[in-house]
């Protein structure tokens, strides 16, 4: 890619280090610079317009030009732009948000604790789980079980929960005491003749065996995204969470939900835990909490955990946790306004309805020679590209087949995200029926282009035997 010496692209390469990017490849390839948003579209600095099929990073549920969010932020910036929550300080808008979130929770929750990012929210849940067990005289209960292909963030503890090896490599992660159970993805993990019910039974039995092997007195918590996002849009079998939950209850292991993607309507209910029948003791949320307009995340905490933690803070003299921006009033104002818009527009049932339509219209892709599985729920979709449809053989990741399809989708005016060889979609909840059609049409063209390239380059051949 060539660019003018003082262009945004050139300065990006000169001064800006990117997240989750091949940094050397970026130096030649350069950035894709977005100049502005318009409803469910974004427009780059060359004037190309894209339907944002990923809501940025699973964030902008209300699209990119919701004036009410800008106005809510402006009002709060005028009144009280910043305050904090250390040593009992508060702001009315932050209290309003805490009360609203506790009221929205799908299971009885007692308190909301605010942070800035999903990683901090998950990190907070683990610290609370450790503090909780220590307060109950069980300080040896410290291990945490997450799942393979989970994404729970990228800080040291959240990164340890994450079950994607490429994000651990050379970072000395995961920390000791962080384990990963099998991913509940039937297409990849179930035996050929195993029913979903039998697969769920096996996953619960494996979890039980892991806890027994580690020693139930050493296991503090289990954490799960109701639908795994960055691991490839994995919806577990319907009976998975109830079965897992029973194992956790038996071993006094806290059930934690990561709702950072699933929260606020994405799966067709307010929270993915509700959709998938999970009853967590704590749940983290972020992203669509503010529709992505300002950084804020939160943890909801049930009464049992809260009571134990509060008693312990009285013994120690302080609950020694919290951040400069915990409960930032401007972020809280935007979150409250976003929730008001979700409610007034009935966007949660709308996501269920449009999600069904989207899945219906994508069903035709199941017959495509390159497509192994089309999966998801609500407005969350994964389309897995495979080298061999009959055997489900995956492409070698080094071929970057998903990345090629991602580029082709961009060329056709659609933002998707390649998660390895799975193309993910997570469009704004405010898409219209016409956008559903556009998504399907552009994605199909991108997959057709990819199929032609795969054929041209002979990429289907099985790798040589080692």
Considering the complex, state which of residue 59 and residue 454 has its C-beta at the smaller distance from ligand PLP: 59
Taking the C-alpha atoms of residue 19 and residue 459, their distance in angstroms, rounded to an integer, is 29
Part in contact with ligand PLP (CB under 6 A); list of ranges 145-153, 200-208, 213-221, 448-456 = 145-153
Q: What is the DSSP letter of 222?
A: E
B/e letters for 303-336, b = 16+ CB within 10 Å, e = fewer, are eebbebbeeeeeeeeeeeebbebbbbbbbbbbbb
In angstroms, the CA 236 to CA 255 distance is 16
Nearer to ligand PLP, 122 or 421 (CB): 122
Tokens standing for residue 464:
């040589």
Q: Which stretch binds ligand PLP (CB under 6 A): 134-142, 151-159, 203-211, 266-274?
A: 151-159
As a 3-state breakdown, the chain gives helix, strand, coil percent values, each rounded to 5, of 45, 15, 40
| Position among 63, 163, 226, 229 found at the interface with ligand PLP (CB under 6 A) | 229
Q: Does the protein bind ligand PLP through residue 153 (CB under 6 A)?
A: yes
Taking the least distance from each CB to ligand PLP, the nearer of 98 and 164 is 164
Residue 119 found at the interface with ligand PLP (CB under 6 A): yes
Show the tokens assigned to 233: 């849009």
Span interacting with ligand PLP, options 148-156, 305-313, 323-331, 338-346, rule CB under 6 A = 148-156
Q: Provide the mask over 272-291, with x wherever binding to ligand PLP is found by CB under 6 A and - wherever it is not.
A: --------------x-----
Is residue 260 at the binding interface for ligand PLP, with CB under 6 A as the rule? Answer: yes
Q: How far is the CB of 126 from ligand PLP (least distance, A)?
A: 12
Nearest approach, Cβ of residue 261 and ligand PLP (Å): 5
Instruction: State yes or no: residue 225 binds ligand PLP (CB under 6 A).
Output: yes
Give the nearer residue to ligand PLP in terms of CB position, either 31 or 56. 56
Helix (H, G, I), strand (E, B) or coil at 113: strand
Q: Which is nearer to ligand PLP, 58 or 132 (CB)?
A: 58
Q: Which of 72, 230, 276, 436 binds ligand PLP (CB under 6 A)?
A: 230
**Span interacting with ligand PLP, options 67-75, 80-88, 116-124, 309-317, rule CB under 6 A:** 116-124
Is 117 near ligand PLP (CB under 6 A)?
A: yes
Using rule CB under 6 A, residue 164 touches ligand PLP: no
Of 94 and 117, CB closest to ligand PLP: 117
- The pair of structure tokens assigned to 43 is 């427009």
Distance between CA atoms of residues 65 and 43, nearest Å: 12
Q: Determine which residue in the list 261, 351, 416, 447 makes contact with ligand PLP, applying CB under 6 A.
A: 261
| Tokens 């940094």 belong to residue | 23
Contact 232, 420 (CB under 8 A): yes
234 DSSP assignment: B
| Minimal distance, residue 266 CB to ligand PLP, in Å | 11
Helix axes 303-316, 118-135, angle to 10 degrees: 70
Shorter beta-carbon distance to ligand PLP: residue 278 or 395:
278
- Six token digits for residue 196: 């979903």
Place of tokens 């009360």: 99
Is residue 258 involved in binding ligand PLP (CB under 6 A)?
yes
Residue 118 touching ligand PLP (CB under 6 A): yes
Distance CA(53)–CA(4), nearest Å, equals: 30
Q: And the tokens for 103? A: 């009221």
Of 436, 424, 443, nearest in space to 384 by CA: 424
Choices 111-119, 189-197, 275-283, 454-462; region in contact with ligand PLP by CB under 6 A = 111-119
- Strands (E) across 325-430 are located at 371-377, 380-385, 414-415, 417-419, 422-425
Q: Token digits for 323?
A: 């951040």
The answer to whether 140 and 218 are in contact (CB under 8 A) is: yes
The residue ranges that bind ligand PLP (CB under 6 A) are: 57-58, 117-119, 122, 151-153, 225, 229-230, 258, 260-261, 286
């Amino acid at each position: 890619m060539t660019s003018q010496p003082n262009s945004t692209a050139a300065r990006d390469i000169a001064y800006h280090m990117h997240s989750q990017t091949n940094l050397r490849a970026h130096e030649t390839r350069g950035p894709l610079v977005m100049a502005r948003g318009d409803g469910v579209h974004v427009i780059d600095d060359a004037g190309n317009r894209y339907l944002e099929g990923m809501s940025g990073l699973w964030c902008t549920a209300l699209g990119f030009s919701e004036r009410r969010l800008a106005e809510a932020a402006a009002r709060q910036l005028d009144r009280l732009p910043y305050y904090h929550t250390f040593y009992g300080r508060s702001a009315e808008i932050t209290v309003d948000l805490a009360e609203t979130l506790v009221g929205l929770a799908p299971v009885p929750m007692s308190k909301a604790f605010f942070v800035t990012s999903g990683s901090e929210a998950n990190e907070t849940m683990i610290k609370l789980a450790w503090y909780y067990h220590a307060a109950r005289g069980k300080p040896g209960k410290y291990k945490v079980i997450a799942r393979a292909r989970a994404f729970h963030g990228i800080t040291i503890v959240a990164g340890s929960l994450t079950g994607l090896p490429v994000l651990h490599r050379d970072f000395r992660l995961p920390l000791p005491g962080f384990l990963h159970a099998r991913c509940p993805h039937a297409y990849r993990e179930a035996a050929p003749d195993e029913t979903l019910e039998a697969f769920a039974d096996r996953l619960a039995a494996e979890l039980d065996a892991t806890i027994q092997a580690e020693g139930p007195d050493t296991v503090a918590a289990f954490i799960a995204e109701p639908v795994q996002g960055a691991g490839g849009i994995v919806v577990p079998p319907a009976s998975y969470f109830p079965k897992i939950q029973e194992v956790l209850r038996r071993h006094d292991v806290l059930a934690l939900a990561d709702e950072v993607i699933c929260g606020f309507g994405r799966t067709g209910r307010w929270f993915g835990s509700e959709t998938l029948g999970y009853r967590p003791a704590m749940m983290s949320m972020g992203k669509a909490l503010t529709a992505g307009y300002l950084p804020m995340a939160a943890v909801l905490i049930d009464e049992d955990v809260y009571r134990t933690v509060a008693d312990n803070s009285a013994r120690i003299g302080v609950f020694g946790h919290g951040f400069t921006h915990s409960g930032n009033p401007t972020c809280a104002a935007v979150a409250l306004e976003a929730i008001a818009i979700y409610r007034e527009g009935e966007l949660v049932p709308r996501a269920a309805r449009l999600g069904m339509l989207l899945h219906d219209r994508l069903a035709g892709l199941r017959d495509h020679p390159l497509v192994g599985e089309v999966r998801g729920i609500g407005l969350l979709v994964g389309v897995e590209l495979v080298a061999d449809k009959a055997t489900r053989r995956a492409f070698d990741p080094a071929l970057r087949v998903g990345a090629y399809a991602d580029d082709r989708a961009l060329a056709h005016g659609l933002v998707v995200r390649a998660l390895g060889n799975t193309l993910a979609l997570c469009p704004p909840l405010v898409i219209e029926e016409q956008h559903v059609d556009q998504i399907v049409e552009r994605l199909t063209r991108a997959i057709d282009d990819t199929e032609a390239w795969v054929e041209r380059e002979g990429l289907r051949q099985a790798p040589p035997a080692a």
